[in-house]
Structure 1
Amino acid sequence: MSDVIGMGDQADTLREMARSARKKQKSDAAPQGDVSIQKGIRVISVTSGKGGVGKSNVVSNLAIALSMQGKKVLLIDADLGLGNLDVLLGLSPVYNLNHVLNGEKNLSDILIDGPAGIKIIPAGSGVQELTSLGQHEKLKLLDELDMLEEQFDIMIVDTEAGISENVTYFTVAAQEIIVVVTPEPTSITDVYALIKLLATRYSEHHFKVLVNMAKDSEDALEVFRKLANVAGRFLDISLDYLGCVVKDEKVVEAVKRQRAVCELYPDSEAAGCFTTLAKRVTENTRQARLKGNIQFFFRRFLENPSG
């Protein structure tokens, strides 16, 4: 944990001049008497304890549903070794996040357009050395993302599955955490292990739970109860039930056609679930808290701690 905090101190030093220069440019360019109100972007990390729970499909459809409700959404594929958001959505990016991390491109160069107006930062695939980011890469990514902050309302980070260092980094750096779980016992066990790690090692105490591939709403609530019961006995955390996405053959068909179910089958049961989820995310406007560790856009909190 201490090295994560230390990284924040270094980021504070490395980014101060660039941030100040950007603020001065904006101030000089603004008309006399113009008062700008800083946008409060929300950074949401979506993660899971294991693969095969449909997390990336959930992320892409949730982003599209939020965009359809008027939000400007940036979606970042943070599975740096096996990114697949572009494949899920039938996109063919020329560049990806690996090109940014190795210094060839800036984030603005690799942004691609997705369905319903969302913007996507694609990850690469099969690059072993980027499956565990070093400190330099982490700081570079923070600085690059900082430049995009004011263009979006919500940034959703799709982490890789499991409990790797990259997963914990992206999750801890976000302001809100959504964990995706399915009714399978192995999924419940693995997501509990992830929550336990984040709670005990990184002092994360607030999680939103999304149940995917549920038979119905009662089935999803039962999954949440099981997870909440075991977490309540052994961990000092709070779990909020965000909702569920029911098992729907239209989702399977959409994946085969490399399209989002919200776009291809907007009247399907699953698409309706994503619409409801997007409304809940939008309505849940609890102010994001500055944690005791490095965060995306943490400079905004330090400069304007009252929000």
Structure 2
Amino acid sequence: MRNNKPVRVIAVASGKGGVGKTNVVANMAVSFAKYGRKVMVLDADLGLGNIDVLLDLAPRFNLSHVVRGEKTLEEVLVEGPHGIHVVPAASGIQAMAELDLRAQAALVQSFGDLSLPLDILLIDTAAGISSSVLTFSLAAQEIIVVISNEPTSITDAYALIKVLSRDYGHRRFRLLANMVRDAQEGRELFNKILQVADRYLDVSLDLMGMIPFDAKLRRAVQHQRAVTDAFPNAPSTQAFHRLVTTAERWPMPVGNGGRLEFFMERLIAGSHNLLDEASA
């Protein structure tokens, strides 16, 4: 039986690496699951996917096996803590537009035929502004940009927002301040980007939350576990729960646009647009 209910698709991106983006995805996934939601994570860091390492998973297959018609989507899924499902990264798929029509159709159908009940799809994009980051972000309904208190994190996050807004018309971004000492530091980080964006861009920025610097989170990473699972009372765990509570209030997609096969169609169409622009 196909999963025809609307699915909330959230892309988690960052201007640069090292800001804890994959950790955010893993802990949001576990928090959503504890909230009672059925969650799937798509590791879209096509070169350096590592969410399986973070959660101590051992995938045998990945999305490239689906593209080649060797496996179904459900056969490549790996089950993680609290019943979340992970689609492992496929290092061989650098651009969806480079796939032939048969492979594209197979991908769309594989997502459309998914019979698992699903409420949330979290996309862990690569860092930066590569074509894969842009296509995955634009295909999602919501974009979360993770920032930290480093000058390069702020400037690179702004660059990502600028490209997605100026060149592709995306207007709404949710910002998440990660590894901050206190709420004031988180608000100051957000305001640095907001002030420049208000001056030069036509966008809506929302500070959706802050994750504190937490020694228990680092211990959880060392043990290959989500902190929300390993340390239920840790400050960062409580912050992730607040984050998910906030996301639960976002409007759900309506109609066909919320179904997974339409996400894949948007992804492929967006990849073609990027390829056309690059060759123009």
Do the aligned partners of 1:75 and 1:157 also contact (CA within 8 Å) in 2? yes
Measured after TM superposition, the shift of residue 38 of structure 1 is 5.1
Percent same amino acid at aligned positions?
Answer: 44
Query: 1:132 corresponds to which residue?
Result: 95
Q: Secondary structure at the match of 1:296?
A: helix
Measured after TM superposition, the shift of residue 103 of structure 1 is 2.6
Measured after TM superposition, the shift of residue 202 of structure 1 is 1.1
Aligned mates of 1:251, 1:153 — CA distance in 2: 26
Do the aligned partners of 2:190 and 2:207 also contact (CA within 8 Å) in 1? yes
Do the aligned partners of 1:146 and 1:296 also contact (CA within 8 Å) in 2? no
Q: Which of 15, 26, 29 is residue 63 of structure 1 equivalent to? A: 29
Do the aligned partners of 1:175 and 1:288 also contact (CA within 8 Å) in 2? no
**TM-score, reference length from structure 2:** 0.86
Do the aligned partners of 1:77 and 1:83 also contact (CA within 8 Å) in 2? yes
Aligned mates of 2:263, 2:194 — CA distance in 1: 28
Query: 1:204 corresponds to which residue?
Result: 170
Q: Secondary structure at the match of 1:130?
A: coil
Do the aligned partners of 2:63 and 2:73 also contact (CA within 8 Å) in 1? yes
Return closer, same or farther for 1:102/1:273 CA change in 2, 3 Å cut-off.
Answer: same
Q: Does 1:296 align with 2:263?
A: yes
Aligned mates of 1:160, 1:274 — CA distance in 2: 21
Q: Secondary structure at the match of 1:151?
A: coil
Query: 2:158 corresponds to which residue?
Result: 192
Aligned mates of 2:104, 2:123 — CA distance in 1: 14
Q: How is 1:160-175 mapped onto 2 (pairs within 5 angstroms)?
A: 160-175=126-141
Task: Report which of the two structures shows the higher radius of gyration computed on alpha carbons.
Answer: 1
Measured after TM superposition, the shift of residue 102 of structure 1 is 2.8
Q: Secondary structure at the match of 1:100?
A: helix
Measured after TM superposition, the shift of residue 98 of structure 1 is 2.1
Measured after TM superposition, the shift of residue 165 of structure 1 is 0.9
Q: Does 1:51 align with 2:17?
A: yes
Aligned mates of 1:232, 1:185 — CA distance in 2: 19
**In the comparison of the two structures, how many residue pairs are matched?**
260
Measured after TM superposition, the shift of residue 105 of structure 1 is 1.3
Query: 1:15 corresponds to which residue?
Result: none
Aligned AA (1:120): V
Query: 2:53 corresponds to which residue?
Result: 87
Query: 1:9 corresponds to which residue?
Result: none
Aligned mates of 1:288, 1:58 — CA distance in 2: 26
Structure 1: tracts of 5 or more residues without a match? 1-21, 27-36, 300-307
Query: 1:4 corresponds to which residue?
Result: none
Measured after TM superposition, the shift of residue 242 of structure 1 is 0.6
Q: Does 1:282 align with 2:248?
A: yes
Q: Secondary structure at the match of 2:190?
A: helix
Return closer, same or farther for 1:209/1:142 CA change in 2, 3 Å cut-off.
Answer: farther
Do the aligned partners of 2:8 and 2:252 also contact (CA within 8 Å) in 1? no
Measured after TM superposition, the shift of residue 168 of structure 1 is 0.7
Aligned AA (1:273): A
- By relative contact order (CA 8 Å, sep 6+), the higher-ranking structure is 2
Q: How is 1:196-235 mapped onto 2 (pairs within 5 angstroms)?
A: 196-235=162-201
Measured after TM superposition, the shift of residue 284 of structure 1 is 2.0
Do the aligned partners of 2:26 and 2:51 also contact (CA within 8 Å) in 1? yes
Measured after TM superposition, the shift of residue 149 of structure 1 is 7.4
Aligned AA (1:219): E
Aligned mates of 2:87, 2:216 — CA distance in 1: 26
Measured after TM superposition, the shift of residue 87 of structure 1 is 0.2
